[in-house]
Amino acid sequence: MHRFSICLAPPSLRAYDTGVEPAGRKKPTMPLLVMKFGGTSVGSPDLIRRAAGRVAAEVARGHDVIVIVSAMSGETDRLSGMVSETSALFDAREYDAVVSAGENVTAGLMALTLQEMDVPARSWQGWQVPLNTTSAHSAARIEDIPTGNITAKFAEGMKVAVVAGFQGVSPEGRITTLGRGGSDTTAVAFAAAFGAARCDIYTDVDGVYTTDPRISSGARRLNRIAFEEMLELASLGARVLQTRSVELAMRYKVKLRVLSSFADGDGDEATGTLVCDEEERMESNVVSGVAHSRDEAQMTLVSVADRPGIAAAIFGPLSGAGVNVDMIVQNIAEEGRTDMTFSLPTDQVPRAEKALRQAKTDGNINFHDLIADVNVAKVSVVGIGMRSHTGVAARMFEALHAEGINIKVITTSEIKISVLIDRKYMELAVQALHDAFGLEKAG
Ligand code: ASP
Ligand code: MG
């Protein structure tokens, strides 16, 4: 589902992230909602007022609301920049102490803004809830969220709990953060823990599109998309939601909606994109979207010995060096030797090269040449419909052929086909595929 990772300890979902089921919450008369506002939606006191207006509207409809906020736009970058400036090899615990501060400011300001609107609200930092996480600083995973503290306040008449996203507390009592973009995951985890009716993610785009509107003018907003499709699109570079948040939503069946905080209207059901179970999808296009990823590189080991264990001898050291290998092709062997090609993020090429040359020096692998091409891109078509329809690959390859685009590597999964091509054709390929699958029209 993600970029295929050969890290030895792949990140596993634990607690909310696996295991512990959401603690039950007594059903209130009107269901609780979770509303999350991203950085651009809370970028100034004015914008916070606008976001608070949306929260107040839901309260007026009778909902209790948990609001998850991000840091004001640019703030997390600014804070992490100061950390690096202060200490090159920083202590990750202090990094978290600093970068989590952005969300604290927004949470307090949001609570104050709501109070100014006569909405009973208060702020919570992660440790106050507490949002318990692992000790993996800057990439912590959520273990559980006891609901008691916040539920008690709702029982006393509080209408809105404003929670700082992105942060939690470790078993050692230190502040942790969940990785960049982690507020989405905070929001979904709260929705799961509190059994929320819906988790609305307010952002600066009005939903999930069939492809990048900057590339294809025919790009269309999807009303609904299946969790699995969203996972593919999220990990393929459609950067709307943090991938982990979609995994969590899928696991706990959280109704997740992506919508714009800049559009008019107060979040009625028709706006945005609902990320939901496959059965709840209504459109029937075989392909739902075309994704692209620009920063890909391709490496080829020329003429390696074709023997049992060779793949392990190559990809073991890459894994050890923290290289995320995605696509892999091994050619047919000739006279006992073969070429092995794989793709990886561009910025990991030096690391990969070093690990492979070291493995050669150590006598674990042998190759004639090591070629890196950093001018490639990945384009993928994604759709649940592929499970039951044949011919998608043929149509995709034909569309690329018609544009004279050469395919370097192909990989497929049940609901996705990806190709690696020269980067200069990326936009053209996206447009051609969007057209070939008729995505400008709802299926
Ligand atoms: N503020 C954090 C970031 O910029 C977390 C988030 O906004 O999701 O990554
Ligand atoms: Mg985000």
Domains with residue ranges and CATH for the chain:
3-282 (3.40.1160.10), 290-436 (3.30.2130.10)
Determine if ligand 1 sits within 6 Å of the CB of residue 181.
yes
71 C-beta closer than 6 A to ligand 1: yes
Give, using CA atoms, the residue closest to atom 6 of ligand 1.
181
Ligand 1 atom nearest residue 181's Cα = 8
What integer pLDDT is reported at residue 267 of this predicted model?
53
Neighbouring CB atoms inside 10 A of 8's CB total: 8
pLDDT digits (tens, 9 = 90+) for 101-138: 999 999 999 999 999 999 999 999 999 999 999 999 99
Kindly give, in sequence order, each residue whose CB lies less than 8 Å from that of residue 284, ignoring residues fewer than 6 positions away. 385, 443
Q: Residue 263: what pLDDT?
A: 80
Q: Is the distance from the beta carbon of residue 183 to the nearest atom of ligand 1 less than 6 Å?
A: yes
Distance 353 CA to ligand 2 centre (A): 32
Q: Which-ligand-closest: CA of 72?
A: 1
Q: Which atom of ligand 1 is nearest to the CA of 180?
A: 9
Ligand nearest to the CA of 39: 1
pLDDT tens digits, 260-286? 988 876 555 558 999 998 877 766 778
**C-beta 182 within 6 A of ligand 1:** yes
Is a pLDDT exceeding 80 seen at residue 17? no
Query: DSSP secondary-structure letter at 126?
Result: G
**Mean pLDDT within 74-93:** 96
Within 175-288, strands assigned E span 175-177, 198-203, 224-226, 256-260, 273-276
Residue 6 has pLDDT above 70, yes or no: no
In this structure, which amino acid lies at residue 244? R
State if residue 177 touches ligand 1 by the CB under 6 angstroms criterion.
no
Is the distance from the beta carbon of residue 126 to the nearest atom of ligand 1 less than 6 Å? Answer: no
Please work out whether the CB of residue 43 comes within 6 Å of at least one atom of ligand 1. no
Cα separation, 172 vs 83, whole angstroms: 22
* Ligand 1 contact, 14 CB (< 6 A): no
Judged by average pLDDT, the poorest of 16-20, 202-206, 364-368 is 16-20
Strands 289-305 vs 273-276: parallel, antiparallel or unpaired:
unpaired
To 10 degrees, the CA torsion angle through 340, 344, 348, 352?
-20
Which residue carries 């916040």 as its tokens? Answer: 150
Report whether residue 102 contacts ligand 1, using a CB cutoff of 6 Å: yes
pLDDT at 14 over 80: no
Distance 55 CA to ligand 2 centre (A): 19
Strand-strand pairing, 121-124 and 256-260: unpaired
| Percent of the chain at pLDDT exceeding 70 | 91
Q: Considering only CA atoms, which residue is closest to atom 4 of ligand 1?
A: 76
Cβ–ligand 1 contact at 39 (below 6 Å): yes
pLDDT at 30 over 90: no
Q: What does DSSP say about strands 132-133 and 273-276: parallel, antiparallel, or unpaired?
A: unpaired
pLDDT in tens, 217-271: 999 999 999 999 999 887 776 678 999 999 999 999 999 999 998 887 655 555 8
Q: What is the mean pLDDT of residues 84-89?
A: 94
Q: Give the distance (Å) from ligand 2 centre to CA of residue 370.
A: 37
- CA–centroid distance, 283 to ligand 2, in Å, is 26
pLDDT of residue 22: 47
Give residue 319 CA to ligand 1 midpoint distance, Å: 27
Give the number of the ligand closest to the Cα of residue 78.
1
Going from the C-alpha of 362 to that of each of 93, 323, 390, the distances in angstroms are 36, 19, 46
Which atom, in ligand 1's list, is nearest to the CA of 39?
A: 7
Q: By 3-state DSSP, what share of the chain in percent is helix, strand and coil, each rounded to 5?
A: 35, 25, 40
pLDDT at position 8 is 27
Return the best residue to mutate from 37, 67, 70 for the ligand 1 pocket (most ligand atoms within 8 A of CB).
70
Ligand nearest to the CA of 126: 1
Q: What is the mean pLDDT of residues 15-42?
A: 68
Say which range, 19-23, 370-374, 377-381, has the weakest mean pLDDT.
19-23
For position 266, what pLDDT does the model report?
A: 58
Through-space distance between the first and last CA atoms of the chain, rounded to whole angstroms = 24
The atom of ligand 1 lying closest to the CA of 77 is 4
Separation of 164 CA from ligand 2 center, angstroms?
A: 14
Across the range 298-316, mean pLDDT stands at 95
On average, the pLDDT of the chain sits at 90
How large is the average pLDDT for residues 62-79? 98
| CB of residue 70 inside a 6 A radius of ligand 1 | yes
- pLDDT value of residue 310: 92
Would you say the CB of residue 166 lies under 6 angstroms from ligand 1?
yes
Q: Could you tell me if the CB of 241 is within 6 A of ligand 1?
A: no
User: Token digits for 374?
Assistant: 């950093």
Half-sphere exposure in the Cβ direction for 266 (13 Å, CA)? 11
Q: Which of 28-42, 101-115, 312-326, 421-435 has the lowest mean pLDDT?
A: 28-42
Whose C-alpha lies nearest to ligand 1, atom 9? 180
